[in-house]
Every structure is written in structure tokens, then in C-alpha cells.
Amino acid sequence: MKTLTKFSAALFSLSLFTPQVSAQTLLNLGGQDHLCSFAPDEVFDEQIYSFSSSKQAEDLVADILSTVGLVPRFQIYAGNVPNAAAVIDGDQRLIVYSEDWIQNEIANNRWAAVALLSHEIAHHLNGHTLEAGGSRPPTELEADKFAGFAVGKLGGSLQDAQWLFKQLSASGSDTHPPRGARLEAVAVGWRDATGGQVIRSTPKDEPSTPTTSSVAGDWFVIAGSYPHASVAQAEILLHRLQAQGLPVRLVNTDSYAKLSNGLYSVVVATNSRSSAFHALEGVKQYVSDAYVKKGN
């Protein structure tokens, strides 16, 4: 079904993926009946201009497929879609995601991207795109279950797995089930991946507001960013990188004009763009999708 939902919640910006420069390819989706989308209510353009995906997106897909021991049998592209879709074009299996939507519409939340891409990957893995008719509630729930499974296998909490789905409107449609059913499917998938082991976003014995640093310098190497509710994940990354001798700190992005609000970011602070990119090389030895961002 060539539709996606318009989220009612206020969403934040993301700098998770860095697009590669490439020539575009035109995909004609007019009359396409083998397309499975993430959610209802927004219409796809019939002509999609696709671009090479970012390396970060490709790495994320590889991580997701590692949870089931498979290699990708599809191509992934950035394109002018509402957020993401799985589609068969001729004899090609494709996943098309919106770089613009990733950058500007969901929080700087790796788990939201994992859940979104896992959902679309599941449509191909489960053969949904081989069937005419596009999205249907039963197949969407199967894809949602895999999204929860992938997040759980990769170390995310149930809250991490469900965050993106909680942004959906409560009602469903002819093509997509209601939010409550989708959250249940995600929870079942996450349970299957983790055995139901509780992964707390905020450890019981730790304060809900962590100690953050006010750092000098306008340029940051960002190793990872997490919503305030997932502070434990931020601190795990912080301590892991500190153990490697990296001068990382935890900052509250609310304190910086050019960073997205509502996040804790693990960063290396520098005074110039050039020094930031120099520091980036060291961080990338441990975090392949680290990137540079101006803070103020």
C-alpha cells in the first residue's frame, strides 16, 4: 500500500546517517502493487528519485541481518518517500528510506532507525513483497515483531524497541493495525530475542538525571545520542569509550543551540572543525557511525 502515516507527536531531528554523494535514479512506482510501508495515511509520489544510501545505513542493515545470520539480498537507497518502504521493482528487491525524514523527523535515536529499517527488512525476509496487495495488518504485525526482535538482539530495551511505534496514532487502517496491536507485536519480538530479560533504560540505583559536563568548544565528535529516558544506554557507551582512553563526556543536548533537544550525547569536545575531524578518526575505531556536529 503506497501510504504512510503523518505522526501526530512532535519529533526531533536526527544526524544518524551521513549521505554519500551520487547521481540519482528514477523509480516509477505508479501502479506498484508490491510495496509495503511502515504506516498508513501519507501518499507516495509515483516517481521516486533514489540516491545511494549512506554507509551508516548500510552498516545498520548489516547489524540487523546479523541477528538472524543472513546477508542482504536487496538494495537500500535514500529517496523521496515519506519515511521508508520495502518494494520490488522488476526483479529487484529494494528498501527506500528518506534521508530527509531520518535527519529531521525522528529523534537522534539509533534504536528508532533500527526499528524502522528492521520493519522494512522483515517485509522482504518474510516474502510480503512477493505478494500483490501491499501492506495488510497481519503482515505489518509480522514486520513489527521482527523490529522488536532486532532491537532486543542488538541490546536495546523494550522502551527502545517501542519508541518509534508510540509516535503512531492510536487508530489503524485497512492496511495497518492499530497502535496497541503493533506495540504488542514489538513486545513479543523483543521478548523472543531477550528471553524477557528486563533491560532498564534507567538503572534502579542510578539517578534519573545523570551528571553531565559543560564543555568548552563549538565542535563535537558525537559517538552516540540517546533520549533522556535511555540514559543508561548513554552511560554504557560513555564508560566503554572511556575504558579505551578516549576523552569522551556526556552532555545534555538541551544546552547547545545546534544540537537536537531531549538527548544525552557521548561526545569528544574540540575547539575547531579541523580538530574535530582529527579526533573523529580515533572515535571511529570503536564507533563506526560517529560523526562531527557543531554545537553552538
pLDDT at position 207 over 60: no
pLDDT over threshold 70, residue 29 = no
pLDDT range class, residue 80, cuts 50, 70, 90: confident
The type of residue at 130 is L
Instruction: Tell me, letter by letter, the H, E, C secondary structure of 69-113.
Output: CCCCCCEEEEECCCCEEEEEECCEEEEEECHHHHHHCCCCCHHHH
Checking if the pLDDT of 94 tops 80, the result is yes
Name the band, by pLDDT with cuts 50, 70 and 90, for residue 70: confident
User: β-pairing, 92-97 with 219-227?
Assistant: unpaired
Fold of 219-294: Alpha-Beta Plaits (3.30.70)
Task: Provide the percentage of residues in the chain whose pLDDT is more than 70.
Answer: 73
pLDDT of residue 7: 28
Whether the per-residue pLDDT at 279 is higher than 90: the answer is yes
Mean pLDDT of the chain: 77
Q: Cα separations (Å) of 8 from 36, 108, 143?
A: 21, 18, 22
Indicate if the pLDDT at residue 74 is higher than 90.
no
pLDDT tens-digit readout, 137-190: 888 999 999 999 999 998 888 998 999 999 888 888 888 889 999 999 999 999
Mean pLDDT of 10-28: 44
- How many other C-beta atoms are found inside a 10 Å radius of the C-beta of residue 202? 19
Segment 115-129 mean pLDDT? 85
pTM value surpassing 0.85: no
pLDDT of residue 96: 84
The dihedral formed by the CA atoms of 245, 243, 198 and 144, expressed in degrees to the nearest 10: 40
pLDDT of 18 strictly over 50: no
Q: Where are the alpha helices (DSSP H) in 6-157?
A: 55-66, 99-104, 110-125, 137-153
285-295 average pLDDT score: 91
Predicted local confidence at residue 182, as pLDDT: 93
pLDDT average, residue stretch 24-50: 63
Q: What is the average per-residue pLDDT within 261-277?
A: 91
Q: Is the confidence at residue 214, as pLDDT, over 50?
A: yes
Share of the chain above pLDDT 90, in %: 24
Residue 261 pLDDT more than 70?
yes
What would the mean pLDDT of 104-108 be, rounded to a whole number? 60
Q: Find the mean pLDDT for residues 242-269.
A: 89
Q: Which positions ≥6 away from 110 have C-beta within 8 Å?
A: 16, 60, 224, 225, 226, 289
Most confident of 71-75, 122-126, 205-209, 284-288: 284-288
d(CA 19, CA 32) in angstroms, rounded, equals 26
- pLDDT band at residue 203, thresholds of 50, 70 and 90? very low
**Residue ranges of the domains in the chain?**
3-194, 219-294
Q: Residue 22 has what pLDDT?
A: 46
